[in-house]
Amino acid sequence: MARFDRTIPPITASPSRVAFPPFVLERFGSGVPAYIVESHLQPLVSVALYARRSSATDVPGMEGRASITMEMLTKGTKTRTAPVIADAIDAIGGSLGSHAGWDASTVSLTVLSKFLPQALDLAADIIYNPTFLDDELGRIRIQRLASIVHGKSDPNHLADTLFTKLVYSPHPYGLETSGTEKSLETLTTDELRTYHNGIFQKDELFFIIAGDVTPAQITTELDSRFKSWSAGTPVAISTEKAAEQTTMRVALVEKPQAVQSALRVGHLGIDRAHADYVPCYCMNMILGGYFNSRINQNLREKNGFTYGARSYFDARKQTGSFVVSTEIRTEVTVQTVREILIEIARMRSELVTPDELTTMKNYIIGSFPMTIDTPQQVGARLAILPLYGLSADYYDRFRDQVAGLTAEDIRAAAETYLTPDRLTIVASGDTKAIAEPMSEFAHVDHYDNNFEPLS
């Protein structure tokens, strides 16, 4: 029997070219657009209604308003209680949910295509007829307050929340999407009803459908259920800009008796429709975007500081952020920051190797087919196009753009969009042990677990 040398990686074949499924754009009777991918490989269909109003419309004092409003859609309508809704979708083997992201609110369902009419009936009911009962709000309030208490003992939650607040302030992206102790106590069902009416405005909506349907069939189904929409004014989207950091800063939040530090390092990034999104995405893949990235190999494989480290561009409708995220032993917190700064500097000043460039391209292009396996995945990918104003051929051009990038393109993206002298460094852990060493990078500010500055 032949023996294989497992120390030698197999030769990687060139990635095959898999096209994004074709889609059509229809407008049914209400005028709301519907983007439709027809596929009869499985007897499944995924339908999602997107509204371009969500957590980015929250305001101080009403944190969590968008996410609670969307959660409550499935908690009772004029004719169905929450258990009745849950039992009805379970009875046909489907799923039905409502969710608030940063840039869109969604009502989504997945079901066997033969049960699509029943599932659409439920979706229409929760969209048009939610009751926003005080009892249901009370249950959500209890759950979220308990989650906030738990979060105060979770170093990752503490680091994420403080980093987000510092980087995005005063933009609503810096607010807590699930709510604060104060906002949860004061939000009322009347405020949620008003907000609900401001979300589902005809000009702010679009449907995404993928699966075992035809365009004619689904537009008929939608037209019979979604004819009327409120004619009011949509909820306002904040025009405030996140404040640009001009110097490096360090912020620590105490997690008593911690033996690890949760570390976040980063700054403002780019929006999703930015012309340089693809070069930034690919550059970051080499820096910290997957297991073989420089940051992970440095911190995990070379130095043994962590089980894993990653970086990413969190690109949104408005300016997002660049973030390096990891957990390390308390005693190596400062060394870890030093190594992250070294890797960022290397990415800005040196050309990546041919091996790194080829491996990154093969990984991104080769893994693309796995992101469009199911109707839900296809629908989620497709929704990005109208939500962020991207072109219909975006995904086909995306792979060509990735394949055409050079080492100099990668270096130029790093030099332009990584700004080490403006980094925000946040660590949650044993601040007494790391405060003085961390002053090597910048003045150290201290925060309590309510994210209030300490003197």
Stated as kind and residue range, the H or E segment containing 381 is helix 375-388
Per-residue pLDDT at 73: 98
Residue 370 DSSP label: G
Question: Is domain 249-447 in CATH 3.30.1490.20, yes or no?
Answer: no
Stated as kind and residue range, the H or E segment containing 435 is helix 431-438
Per-residue pLDDT at 228: 83
Q: Dihedrals φ, ψ of 208, to 5°?
A: -125, 125
The residues, ordered by sequence, that sit 6+ positions from 263 with a Cβ below 8 Å of its Cβ are: 159, 324, 325, 326, 327, 328, 333, 336, 337, 425, 426, 427
Per-residue pLDDT at 240: 86
Per-residue pLDDT at 212: 97
Domains 24-225 and 249-447 in one fold: yes
Per-residue pLDDT at 232: 72
Per-residue pLDDT at 16: 64
Contact 96, 89 (CB under 8 A): yes
- Whether the bond between 256 and the residue before it is cis, its omega within 30 degrees of 0, is no
Pairing of strands 321-329, 249-254: unpaired
Q: Give residue for tokens 């009805």.
A: 88
Alpha carbon separation from 195 to 69, 166, 222, 253, 332 (Å, rounded): 7, 27, 24, 34, 47
Per-residue pLDDT at 312: 98
Q: For residue 324, what are the β-bridge partners?
A: 265, 311
Contact 123, 96 (CB under 8 A): yes
The total of other beta-carbon atoms located within 10 Å of residue 242's CB is: 20
Contact 294, 287 (CB under 8 A): yes
Q: Which stretches of 219-336 are assigned E, i.e. beta strand?
A: 249-254, 260-268, 309-314, 321-329
**Residue ranges in the chain whose pLDDT is less than 50:** none
d(Cα 33, Cα 31) in Å, to the nearest integer? 6
Domain residue limits, the chain: 24-225, 249-447
Per-residue pLDDT at 326: 98
Closest CA to 387 of 239, 216, 260, 208: 208
Per-residue pLDDT at 258: 86
Per-residue pLDDT at 139: 97
d(Cα 340, Cα 346) in Å, to the nearest integer? 10
Pairing of strands 33-38, 205-211: parallel
Alpha carbon separation from 291 to 204, 287, 366, 371 (Å, rounded): 39, 10, 15, 18
Closest CA to 197 of 297, 53, 339, 408: 53
The total of other beta-carbon atoms located within 10 Å of residue 1's CB is: 3
The runs of H, that is alpha helices, within 102-243 are: 116-128, 134-151, 155-168, 181-186, 189-199, 215-225
The tokens describing 221, both together, are 């189904």
Q: Tell me, which fold does domain 24-225 have in CATH? A: Cytochrome Bc1 Complex; Chain A, domain 1 (3.30.830)
Per-residue pLDDT at 7: 72
Per-residue pLDDT at 385: 98
Stated as kind and residue range, the H or E segment containing 295 is helix 294-296
Per-residue pLDDT at 293: 97
